[in-house]
Structure 1
Amino acid sequence: MAGRPDLLNDNLWRIAMRLSPPGILGMLMISINSLIDSIYLGNLVGADAFAGVSLLFPLTLVISAATGLIAAGSGSVLSRAIGAGNVEVQRKVIPNLLALALIFSVVLMAAGLLFTDGLVALMGGQGEVLETGRTYFGAYVYSIFFSIYGLSANGLIRAEGKVKEAMNYTMISVVLNLLTTPLFITVFSMGVAGAAWSSVLSMGIYSLLTSWYFIGGRSSFNTGRFGIRIERAIIKDVISVGTSSLSMQLSNVVRQFFLFRLVAAYGTNHDIAFFGAAFRLFTFVSVPAMGLLQPLQPVIGINFGAGKWQRCGDTIKIFRLGAIGLTLLLLAPIIIFPEAVVSIMIPGEKLLEGELHNLRLIFLAMPWLPIASTGIIFFQATGKGWLAITMPVARQLILFVPLVLLLSLKAGIDGIYYALAIENMAYAIVVQLLLRKELKKLSPMTGLSAG
């Protein structure tokens, strides 16, 4: 085990112990990056700036949705090709990834530049909150290509099982952003826009580093020529699987739109700032757990491509247990000291006991997230795009929207938090039932446990 783990043959616990820490650290750095940006805005600019940028969550999720489509689809195609030893497909992945990144970036940048004011106003921002949100988003759109291409290409490094290398590039970008954001905000007197321009710079460097990795021949698969190509068979496979991630992200856009609009309708600027802080804390806890699950996709994809279905089922159990344990560990300080944690982001804001209760409520539902996530990752990695597409959309339409509208109507702001807790648990149960059904289809041939 001195070198890179053998995903087809090595002990699964040893693979998890080798590959998960880099994934956790990489995603934790991203999570800390978002959290520190919030602290910078709340402390260096003010609570209204924090609220204004918080309102942009649904809009930035559209960019994440495009990234997720390309990254998840390309990663699944690549890992299955590696498992099957298909060099021809391996050589076509990067050129088609570049083409998709350019297409999505041009469309989203044009929309962002043309409709910035209307998009921010649509989210419910008014007065100073509206102005700060508009200022931030007007600069943030210039990072769109770097975000989509850089994160998607970095996903290929993870898809070949080299999670540590992927983490290293992520850490460089994050540290750069953490160092330059306060400089741009205060020293260069750029205010809220400084936080956005810092992201543009760091993501640009991130993209260059990832490109250098492939051009320099450091990857373990045959990358072919580093160019731009559109090939129907590859694009179709990427979109087939990647659409699941796209639907999941776009459904989250709808989700966040509803949430922030309802918070703005039932509450005050303080409520928006508090909900924004809760949302960022939720991300801070969930992202590292997702980092632990990063190796799950290539391990399942490569073993599925090689016909080792029993190993796929065993992998799910091992990584799921690890993710639940990590989530519980990160939850502890927030559950015990909620007021102290929130006050770091929005200092000087008086927090009510009911708000702290709501914060604890949604965080206690978080251990259910790895159950749902491992199921969706299995569907993506094995090419079952229709399941991975259907579940996130059905979640929002059947569970989330009815619950959040009904409970907010009955209980106002408090109802929003209750709806989130109930919906997270119900969704995990449904995904687990579908996962068991898919595993049972393989069990007659392999003796695979569906548990």
Structure 2
Amino acid sequence: MAKVSSVDLGTKPISKLLIKQAVPASIGILVMSLNILVDTIFVGNWIGSTAIAAINVVLPVSFFIAALGMSIGVGGSSIISRALGADQKEKALKTFGNQITLTLLFTVVLVVFGLLYVDDIIPAFGGKGAIFEPAKIYYVIVLYGVPFLALCMMGNTVIRAEGKPKFAMYAMMIPSVGNLILDYVFINLLDLGMYGAAWATTGSYILCFVFIVWFFFSKNAELKLRFPHLGLSKRIVSEIGSLGFVTLSRQAVVSITYLFMNNILYDLGGETSVTAYAIVGRMLMFALFPVFGITQGFLPIAGYNYGAGAYSRVRETINTAIKYAVILATAIFVLLMAFPDVITRMFTQDAEVLKETPSAMRWVFAATPIIAIQLIGAAYFQAIGKAIPALLLTLTRQGFFFIPLILILPKFYGELGVWMSFPIADVLATLVTAYFLNREIKAHLTNQPIKE
């Protein structure tokens, strides 16, 4: 493999550079999403449709704790990208060391808390009735592996900030492939049911962690830590926190959304509606992988060039990322509108779930062609270190629009009101983001001194 340096982020043509960054990110996200998708198909066909709902109840809790690693990673990697762009390698090293320390501290504390209050947390997130027992089995075992996942998510963003997208892709692929193999062994061959599904997931997190550790001790890594770098710096922790809070807030709102959705849908349609939401949620993770990949590829390019003062390259990066993402999102929209029934039958043969899910899927993905603007716009502010606008724009869709809509519309339209809330929130959030992104470009990226 050819030697890749972070300097490439400021010198290579933007279009080729974005593809070089986004394709490995997309492949990594695709494999990770396929893992979640196939895992759900295995669980649905080998254990039962209630098991799908059970996993859906657990995901927001475990993902929120793991998202601490992601938020610390994204916040710190924004600093690292800009520091490398400004030739401040010691600051980049200190930031990386602080990321490791913070991730360990927060995730271990939250895992202990999560295990102590398991019987209260699961029902709060919709794990009621027949869903409770399988959800508890899955929750407890997966929580043991969450600190490993958090460290992997943090390390992955640092690898990408170094300009090593292929290694970041491998880090996402390893747990995905590992989980599928372990799923087959534990669920199908050993017939361990929910225990097997849970241990397969936890085992895959540990495999990813081993790879991340190997990378940073190998010659491929640009950042070579020393023990003093692990000591917390108030200034760096503050900057990581302000930027990482954006990602953490987004995941917190996602977890709150799951809480509301699972409870609202359980009250309106029981286990069938919760299962339908679980299937649609998996498709949201899977189908949009190329758009998320472009967003991931966009972050280090925008951050590096902003730190280097190459403002024309930043503008070009924004425009190119949005163009590519819109094209891909439109193609995804067409496929999902055409084949929702076929997709649903992959997960389950339950007649009630088959009846409800296709219509829900069409509503949820109705505004897909325009979401790229919202994703890239919010990511831009995070990439350049502007925490407050990044936070507000990140929360716009889920927090400011979607949650109020799912609390209001079902009172008038029942379960249909829940599904209608998705495209309405997407449209409103995109309009708001487009306005602020355009204003930012005119104010700070136009007619600025350029260092190319």
- Fold match, TM over 0.5? yes
Instruction: From the superposition, tell whether residues 54 and 442 of structure 1 become closer, same or farther in structure 2 (CA, over 3 Å).
Output: same
| Residue correspondences, number | 448
Q: Cα gap change, 1:196/1:351 in structure 2, threshold over 3 Å: closer, same or farther?
A: closer
2:40 pairs with 1:38: yes
1:243 corresponding residue in structure 2: 245
Query: Once structures 1 and 2 are overlaid, which stretch shifts more, 175-184 or 124-133?
Result: 124-133
1:447: Cα distance to partner? 9.0
Task: Describe how 1:167-316 pairs up with structure 2 within 5 A.
Answer: 167-225=169-227, 228-316=230-318
> Alpha-carbon deviations, 1:287-307, whole Å to 9, x = none?
332112212111011101100
Taking the aligned partners of 1:227 and 1:87, their CA distance within structure 2 comes to 12
What is the one-letter code of the residue matched to 2:243?
Answer: V
Structure 2 stretches of 5 or more lacking a match? none
Unpaired runs of 5+ in structure 1?
Answer: none
Q: Secondary structure at the match of 1:239?
A: helix
Given that residues 67 and 150 in structure 2 are in contact (C-alpha distance below 8 angstroms), is that contact kept between their aligned partners in structure 1? no
**Which residue in the other structure is 1:162 paired with?**
164
Q: 1:226 to 1:31 in 2, by over 3 A?
A: farther
Aligned partner letter, 1:302: Y
1:424 maps onto 2:420 in alignment: no
Match of 2:153 in 1: 151
Q: Deviation of residue 111 (structure 1)?
A: 1.5
2:448 maps to: 446
Tell me, yes or no, if the aligned pair for 1:64 and 1:249 is still in contact at 8 Å. Answer: no
Query: Following TM superposition, by how much is the alpha carbon of 1:3 offset from its aligned partner in structure 2, in angstroms?
Result: 5.3
**Shift of residue 401, structure 1, vs aligned partner:** 2.5
Deviation at 1:112, TM superposition (A): 1.6
- Partner of 1:90 in structure 2? 92
Do the aligned residues in 1 keep the contact of 2:341 with 2:354 (CA within 8 Å)?
A: no
Q: 1:4 — aligned with what?
A: 4
Task: Specify the alignment match of 1:358 in structure 2.
Answer: 360
Question: Which of these residues, 25, 28, 37, is aligned with residue 30 of structure 2?
Answer: 28
Taking structure 2 as the reference length, what is the TM-score of the superposition?
0.94
Letter in 2 for 1:134: K
Q: TM-score normalised to the size of structure 1?
A: 0.94
Question: Is 1:76–2:101 an aligned residue pair?
Answer: no
> Does the 8 A contact of 1:98 with 1:227 survive in 2?
no
State how far apart, in whole Å, the 2-side matches of 1:447 and 1:360 are. 47
Residues in 1 aligned to 2:386 and 2:184: alpha-carbon distance in whole angstroms: 44
Question: 1 CA distance for matches of 2:2 and 2:191?
Answer: 49
For 1:329 and 1:395, locate their aligned partners in 2 and report how far apart those are by CA, in whole Å: 22
For 2:109 and 2:2, the matched residues in 1 are separated by 45
Paired residue secondary structure (2:288): helix
Pairing of 1:386-405 with structure 2 (within 5 A) = 386-405=388-407
* Structure 1 residue aligned with 2:16: 14
Q: CA deviation at 1:261?
A: 1.3
Match of 1:318 in 2: 320
- The one-letter code of the counterpart of 1:4 is V
CA distance in 1, matches of 2:396, 2:290: 26
Q: After superposition, give the CA deviation of every residue in 1:118-162 in whole Å (9 maximum; x if it has no partner).
A: 111112323321111111001110011101101111110111221
Q: Which residue of 1 aligns with 2:383?
A: 381
> 368-377 or 55-64, which moves further after superposition?
55-64
Cα deviation, 1:339-398, whole Å, max 9, x if unaligned, reads: 111111122334576652332122121222211111111111111001112233454443
**Counterpart contact for 2:57–2:262, Cα < 8 Å:** yes
Contact 2:78 2:303 (C-alpha < 8 Å) held by counterparts: yes
Question: Please, which moves more after superposition, 100-109 or 25-34?
Answer: 100-109
- Aligned residue identity for 2:77: G
C-alpha deviation, 1:317, in angstroms: 1.1
Alpha-carbon separation, structure 1, partners of 2:196 and 2:355: 35
Contact kept, 8 Å, 1:96 with 1:234, in 2: the verdict is yes
Residue of structure 1 in register with 2:136 after alignment: 134
Q: Matches of 1:367 and 1:249 in 2, distance apart?
A: 23
Give the Å deviation of 1:226.
Answer: 8.6
Find the counterpart in structure 1 of residue 408 from structure 2. 406
Question: SS at 2:12's partner residue?
Answer: coil
Identity %: 28
- Partner Cα separation in structure 2 for residue 207 and residue 227 of structure 1: 20
Q: Is the 8 A contact 1:87 1:222 kept in 2?
A: no
Distance 2:353 2:275 in 1: 11
Letter in 2 for 1:313: R
User: In the alignment, residue 214 of structure 1 is paired with which amino acid?
Assistant: F
TM-superposed CA distance for 1:219, in Å, is 1.6
**Displacement of 1:222 after TM fit?**
4.9
Classify the secondary structure of the residue corresponding to 1:218. coil
CA deviation string 1:172-222 (max 9, x = no partner): 221111101121123333211211211211111111111111112322345
Change (3 A) 1:322 1:284: same
> 1-side partners of 2:203 and 2:59: how far apart?
20
- Distance in 2 (alpha carbons) for counterparts of 1:322 and 1:10: 18
Pair 165,252 (structure 1): closer, same or farther in 2 beyond 3 Å: same
Amino acid at match of 2:183: T
Q: Take 2:356 and 2:40, find their aligned partners in 1: how far apart are those partners?
A: 23
CA change 1:279–1:352 in 2 (3 A) is same
Distance in 2 separating the partners of 1:336 and 1:184: 35
Q: Partners in 2 of 1:316 and 1:202 — Cα distance?
A: 35
RMSD of the alignment, in Å? Answer: 2.1
- Aligned ranges for residues 114-125 of structure 1 at < 5 Å? 114-125=116-127
Distance 1:220 1:99 in 2: 19
Partner of 1:345 in structure 2? 347
Is residue 76–residue 380 contact of structure 1 (8 Å, CA) maintained in 2? yes
- After superposition, where does 1:325-336 map in structure 2 within 5 Å? 325-336=327-338
Aligned residue identity for 1:54: N
Matching residue's letter, 2:440: E
